[in-house]
């Protein structure tokens, strides 16, 4: 891989790790400071709507439902911003890996890289702003300016991906390229890469199995019981039985929490598996002492297990599991930052002419 100055690979690798780090730090801040208060607001709005219904205050019901929608949007757009910025980081690393197989000029590849990073930097903050900008000054009835900018960012990324796909097809269809020897990214055996490949695929396999189990045995019952609980809330509201309404709403909250932690555990274990696989490729470009290099890998693999398992145990162990999950997230950020520093040191070495560029 070519990490010389102004190469598309360098842009994609540094930009990709930067995006992943930014997304993870945002996720950590969200988990510690925003998630639980916003869930409490959602619960309160639903309770207020049920109480207004009991009081036969139709106008009050609509007001509290609007609040509920607002709180859901507040939480949802933050989760979307967090997940999109990380996904764009992963995609940037992937695009870095396939650059040697893109049959386009270096200048075009570099411009595509810049365009990609522009789209990846524009979309997540725009998604974050959807809740705050709303429909103010929007030319459309249902979509606000923040959504329009976010969608434009998404379109830019799609265009870049289509161009990369075109370059890849060009490479594969050109018979001259087929005979050309490309340097294999993982040609030589490396402990660091091998550990990340094996642990990443194991994490993904566990994530897949958990997802399949959830889809087979939990998804439909969850959906059915959610309706049943809401029906009960309504029936008890008509009966004006405040205690039963409160009990049913509490059950609804627990049900939502159970669904939330299952989905979060599945998503995070898969994300970390993917991250480990991607990082396996950039290990030759991390300029750190072997001791620290391997230490960061061990920390990352251990934290990749700790976070999703702790998320899953949150309902059973409460605050302790939440703290453990946040500490796991923090260790992943720290280890990724350690590797990021290693990549920057490698590029510095290349720029100074002390090491091989590829």
Partner 1 sequence: MNGSQKLLIIAGLILAVLGMSYGLYYALFDEHQTLQGMGMSLATGFANVAEDNLPEARTAIDNFSAIQSEYVREVHAHSHSIALGMLLIVLGMAFNQIAFAEQHRFLISLALVIGAVLFPLGVLLQTFDLGIFAKILSILGTITLIAGFFMVTWGFIKPFSTDNSKEQN
| 235-294: contacts with partner 1 (CB under 8 A) | 235, 237-238, 270, 274, 277-278, 280-281
Decide: is 132 part of the binding site for partner 1 (CB under 8 A).
no
CB 354 to partner 1: min, Å: 28
Output the CA–CA distances (angstroms, integers) from residue 127 to 73, 142, 188, 329, in the order listed: 10, 15, 42, 23
Decide: is 201 part of the binding site for partner 1 (CB under 8 A).
yes
Decide: is 164 part of the binding site for partner 1 (CB under 8 A).
yes
Decide: is 173 part of the binding site for partner 1 (CB under 8 A).
no
> With CB under 8 A as the contact rule, which of the stretches 10-18, 36-44, 106-114, 228-236 interacts with partner 1?
228-236
Decide: is 202 part of the binding site for partner 1 (CB under 8 A).
yes
> With CB under 8 A as the contact rule, which of the stretches 9-17, 104-112, 226-234, 296-304 interacts with partner 1?
226-234
> With CB under 8 A as the contact rule, which of the stretches 30-38, 106-114, 183-191, 295-303 interacts with partner 1?
183-191
What's the N-to-C CA distance of the chain in angstroms?
A: 5
CB 117 to partner 1: min, Å: 16
Query: What is d(CA 32, CA 337) in angstroms, rounded to the nearest whole number?
Result: 20
Decide: is 107 part of the binding site for partner 1 (CB under 8 A).
no
Decide: is 339 part of the binding site for partner 1 (CB under 8 A).
no
The residue (of 261 and 322) whose beta carbon lies closer to partner 1 is: 261
Among residues 33, 132, 172, 217, which is the contact residue for partner 1, using CB under 8 A?
172
> With CB under 8 A as the contact rule, which of the stretches 34-42, 182-190, 284-292, 319-327 interacts with partner 1?
182-190
Residues 6+ apart with CB under 8 A from 93: 12, 13, 16, 17, 20, 278, 279, 281, 282
Among residues 37, 69, 318, 348, which is the contact residue for partner 1, using CB under 8 A?
69
Q: Which of residues 21-60 bind partner 1 (CB under 8 A)?
A: 49-50, 52-58, 60
> With CB under 8 A as the contact rule, which of the stretches 9-17, 86-94, 290-298, 326-334 interacts with partner 1?
86-94
Among residues 136, 187, 243, 290, which is the contact residue for partner 1, using CB under 8 A?
187
């Amino acid at each position: 891989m070519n990490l010389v100055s102004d190469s598309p690979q360098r842009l994609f690798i540094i930009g990709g790790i930067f995006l992943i780090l930014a997304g993870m730090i945002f996720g950590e801040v969200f988990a510690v400071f925003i998630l639980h208060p916003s869930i409490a607001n959602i619960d309160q709005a639903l309770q207020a709507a049920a109480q207004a219904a009991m009081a036969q205050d139709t106008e009050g019901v609509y007001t509290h439902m609007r609040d509920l929608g607002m709180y859901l949007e507040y939480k949802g757009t933050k989760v979307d911003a967090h997940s999109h910025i990380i996904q764009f980081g992963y995609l940037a690393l992937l695009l870095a890996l396939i650059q040697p197989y893109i049959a386009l000029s270096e200048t075009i590849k570099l411009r595509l890289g810049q365009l990609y990073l522009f789209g990846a930097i524009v979309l997540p903050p725009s998604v974050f702003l959807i809740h705050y900008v709303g429909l103010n000054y929007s030319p459309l009835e249902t979509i606000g300016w923040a959504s329009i900018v976010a969608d434009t960012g998404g379109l830019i990324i799609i265009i870049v991906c289509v161009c990369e796909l075109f370059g890849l097809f060009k490479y594969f269809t050109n018979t001259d390229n087929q005979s050309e020897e490309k340097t294999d990214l993982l040609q030589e055996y490396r402990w660091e890469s091998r550990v990340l490949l094996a642990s990443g695929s194991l994490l993904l396999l566990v994530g897949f199995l958990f997802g399949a189990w959830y889809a087979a045995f939990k998804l439909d019952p969850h959906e059915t019981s959610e309706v049943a609980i809401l029906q009960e809330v309504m029936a008890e509201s008509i009966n004006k039985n405040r205690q039963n309404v409160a009990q049913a709403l509490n059950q609804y909250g627990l049900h939502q929490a159970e669904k939330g932690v299952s989905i979060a555990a599945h998503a995070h274990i898969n994300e970390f598996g993917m991250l480990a696989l991607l990082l396996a490729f950039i290990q030759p470009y991390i300029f750190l002492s072997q001791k620290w290099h391997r230490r960061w890998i061990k920390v990352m693999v251990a934290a990749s297990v700790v976070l999703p398992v702790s998320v899953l145990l949150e309902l059973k162990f409460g605050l302790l599991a939440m703290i453990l999950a946040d500490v796991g997230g923090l260790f992943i950020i720290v280890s990724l930052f350690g590797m990021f520093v290693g990549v920057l040191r490698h590029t510095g070495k290349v720029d100074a002419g002390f090491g091989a560029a590829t």
